[in-house]
Structure 1
Amino acid sequence: MLELIPASAIIAIVVIALIVIFLAVGYVKAPPDMAFIISGIKKKSKIVIGKAAIRIPFFERLDKLNLRLIPIDVKTSNAVPTADYININVDATVNVKISNESEKLRLAAENFLNKNTEYIAGVAREVLEGNVREIVGKMKLEEMVSDRQKFATLVKENAEPDLAAMGLDIISFNVQNFVDGNEVIENLGIDNIVKIKKAAAIARAESERDIKVAQAAADKESNDAAVAAQTEIAKKQNELAIKRSELQQEADTKKAMADAAYEIQKEEQRKTIEVTTANADIAKQEREIELKQKEVAVKEQALEAEVKKQAEADKYAAQQKADAALYQRQKEAEAKQFEAQRQAEARKAQAEADRFAKEQEAEGIRAVGEAEAAAIQAKGVAEAEAMEKKAEAYAKYNKAAVAEMMIKVLPDVAAKIAEPLGQIDKITIIGGDGGSNGVDQVAGNVPAVMAKLFESMKEATGIDLADIVKADTYDAKVNRNVNVSGIDSVNLVVKDEKENPTA
C-alpha cells in the first residue's frame, strides 16, 4: 500500500510534520515583566517582552532577564564629610530595574544575564553609595537637611550614567535620614526652632493685632448698623403710632357719629312713645269723663232695672269684658309678633353689614316704640270700650238695684272703717272733755264715719240708707212705720216674722 503513495507526498508529509514539531518546540511567549533574549544564529540577539516568538531549536538559545523593580537600601558604610567638613551618614531607599530600552537591555544582558536580583542589587548599591558620597562632599549639611529633594535629584542625576552603562534605570531615590555624631543637625534644628518660634511669635502678634483691628472695625460697623437699625425701628414705630392714632381717631369719629345717630333715633322714639302715651292718657281721661257722665245717668235709672235684667246685664258686661280682654291679648300678640319680626330683620341686617348696626338697632327701637305705643293705645281703647259697656249696663239699673248693691257693701265698708282700730295695740288717754274718759270717743268714730257715709251716698244717689236700715227696727215691725226716701215706685211692707214678706 505504501508503494502506491508517491515519494513526493511522503516527503511533503514528513516536512510538514517536522515543521509542526519545530513550531511546537521553538514557540515561546514572554510575560510583560520578563525579557526573553534569543541568540545564536544572528549576530544581534533578539529581545522579546510581552509577546510570542519562535526559537529555532538546536540553533538558538533562550535566556531570561527579570524586569521587576529591585529595592535597594543605600547606606554609607562610614561617615562622609560634607562641603563644610561635617561628617555624616546617609540612609536612602532606591528602586532600580533593568531598562526596557533595547540598547540598555542588551547591556544588562551582557552584565546580568542569568544573574539573580541580589547580585544586581549589590552591584547597583555600590554604584549608588559611591555617588552618594560624591554628592555629600559637594553640598553643605544645612543645605542637604533643608532640601532633601535637591540632594536626591543630584545623586540620581549623578548615578544614572553609571547605572545606564550597566543597563539599569533609577526609578526612585528617597533620602531616609542624615545622621551626624556631633549633634550638629540637632543644633541646627534648635536654631531653626528658635527662629521659627520668633517668627511665629511675631506673626502671632501681628495676627492678633490685625484681629483686634478687624474686630474693632467689625464692632464699629456692627454698632453703626445697630444704631441705624434702632433708628429705623424707632422711625417705623413712630409712623405706626401715628397711623394707629389716625385710624383710632377715624374709628372714634365714626363711632361717635353712630352713637349720636342712635341717641337721636332713641330720643325720637322716646318722644313718640311719650306723645302716644299722652294721647292715650288723654283719650282715657276723656273716656273716664264720659263714663262719669254716663254713671250719673246710670245712677238715675239704676233703680228701674229688674233683678233679671241685672243678671243679664252682668252676663253681658262679663261677655263684653271677656271680648275686650281677648281683643287686648290679640293686639298684644300682634304687637309682640311685629316686634319679633322687626328684631329678626335688625339682626339679619346687622350680620350682612356691621357698619349699619347702630342704624338698624335704632330702627328696631323705633319699631318697638311704635308697637308699644300701638299696644298702649289699643289697651286704652279696650279699657274705654269696656268702661263704656259697663256704663251702658249701669244705665239699665234702677234705684232699687242700686240701693240693694249699696246695702250689700255696707258690712265691708264698716269693716274697712273699723280695721284701723284692730291694729291699735295700746291707747294712752290723758284728760277728758266734759267728764268723758276718751274711750267712748274712740269707739264712736265708726258710727260717726258711717253716718257721714250715709249722708254722702244720699247726696250722690238720692237714696237714704238710714231709712232702709230703720226698716228692720221694732217701730217698723210693730207700727209699720217705714218711710224710705229717694226710691220712686217702690212700696216696702213690713210684716210679722210669721208672715211671708212681700215687696
Structure 2
Amino acid sequence: MDWIQENLGTIGIIAGIILLIIIVVSGYCKAPPDEAYIISGLRKRTLIGRAGIKVPFLERLDKLSLKLISVDVKTATSVPTADYINIRVDSVVNIKISDRSEMIALAAQNFLNQNSNYICGVAREVLEGNVREIVGQMGLQDMVNDRKKFAEKVQENASPDLAAMGLEIVSFNVQNLTDEQGLIENLGIDNTTKIQKTAAITKAEAERDIQIAQAKASKESNDARVQAETEIAQKNNELAIRKAELKKQSDIKQAEADAAYDIQKQEQRKTIEVTSSMADIAKTEQSVLLHAKQAEVQEQALNAEIKKKADADRYRKEQEAQAALFQRSKQAEAELYETQKEAEAQKAKAEAMKFAKLQEAEGIRAVGEAEANAVKAKLLAEAEGLDRKAEAMQKMQEAAVLQMYFEVLPQIAKAIAEPLASVDSITMYGEGNTAKMIEDITKSTNQVSAGMLDGIGIDLKSMINSFVTGKAIGMGMNPPDNTTPPTAPTPTTPTES
C-alpha cells in the first residue's frame, strides 16, 4: 500500500496514456476519395481522402457518397415546342455531390446516409421539369439541328435547382427526339432529297469537267507527238550530215596517222636493234667468264687427282718396302735404290701429265676468249653502223622524211583512186572536166600533207622545194651523166564527150 501511495502519480499518468491510446485507436477514421466523412459534435469537420480522429461518445460520424450518378431523364408525356409540335425527349444526365464545403453541407442536409437511388429519383424530377421548360422555349427544327445548344440550355436552367441541394451536373446528353406525327422523319427526308440533288448536280459538273480535261489533254498530246516527230526528223537529218563530215575528217586523220606511224616504227626499230646488240655483247662477256671459270675448275680437279694418285702410289710402295724389309733384310738396300729410282720416274711422269693438262686448259681458255672477242667486235661494228646510220638520219632528217613520204605516196594515191576502180567507164561532158577530176585527186593528196603539217608539224611542201633546189644546185656544180632516167607510166585519162 505504501508503494501504491508513493507511485500514485505515476500510475495515474500511465492510466491516462493508456486511455488516450484507446480513444485514439477507437476514434481513428480514414475517408476514401469518393466518399465524404462528416464528423459532428464537439467540432464539425469533413474528411475526403484523408484521415482524422473522432472522439468516442462525444462526436458522430456520418458518410456521404461522392460517386457519379447516372440519371435517365424521359418526358412521361408529349411536350409542345415553341411551334406547338408535341415531342418526347430522352436524355441521360450524369450528376454528383460537389466536393466544395458549402455544397457538401447542403447535400448533408438533404441526402445524408441516403443511397444513390434516392438521390437519382430526386434529381430526375428536377431535370424533367427543366427539360419540359426548355422544350417549350425552342422550335422543333432548332432542337433537331442543334442538340448541343438544347442540352446546354437545359443544363444552364437546371444547375441552380440542383445546386440548392448540393448537386452539380457533370454532363447532359440528348439521346432521342420523337414526335407522334412523324415530322422529324419528314425533315430528314427533305434534307436527304436536297443532298441527293446537290450530289447529282456536283456529279454532272464533275463529269463535264472530266470530259473537257480529257479533250484538252488529247489535243495537247497530239500536238506534242507531232512536234516530237518533227524534232526527231530534224535531229536525224543533222545526225546524217554530221556523220558524213566526221567520216571525211576521219579518213584524212587516218592517212595522217598512218604516215606518222611509219616514222615512229622506224624509230622504234632503231631502238630495238641497239638494245638487242648491247644485250648480245653482255651475253658474250658472260659466256667468256663462264668458260674461264670452267677451265679453272678443271685445272684444280686435275691437280687434286694427280696429287691423290701420287700419294697413293707412295704409300703403297712404302708398305711394300716395309714388308720386303722383314723378309729380306739383305735385298732391302738394293731394292730400296731401285724403288727410289722408280718413284722419281713416276714423279716425272706425273709432272708431265700435269703440264699436258695445263696446256689443254690454256688452249680452251684461249679459244673461248678468241670467240668472245670476235662476237664482241662484230656486235660493236653493227652497233657502230647503227649509230652512224642514226647520225646520217639525224643529219638528213628532211631527206629521210621525204623518202618515207615517197614510199607511202603510191599507197595514198591508190586509196584515193580506189573507189574509181569499181566504175566501168566515166563519161564527162564539157571542157576541162578531165583536168577537174585530176585536180580533185591532187587536192585530196595535198590534204594529207596539210594534215601532217597540222598534226605533227612537218611541212612537206617546204621540204620538197628545199630538196629540189638543193638538187638543182648540186647538178649545176656536178653535171649529170648521160644515163637515161626511167620514164614514168602515162596515166589513162577518162574520155570526154
Structure number with bigger Rg: 1
TM-score by length of 2: 0.48
TM-score, scaled to structure 1:
0.48
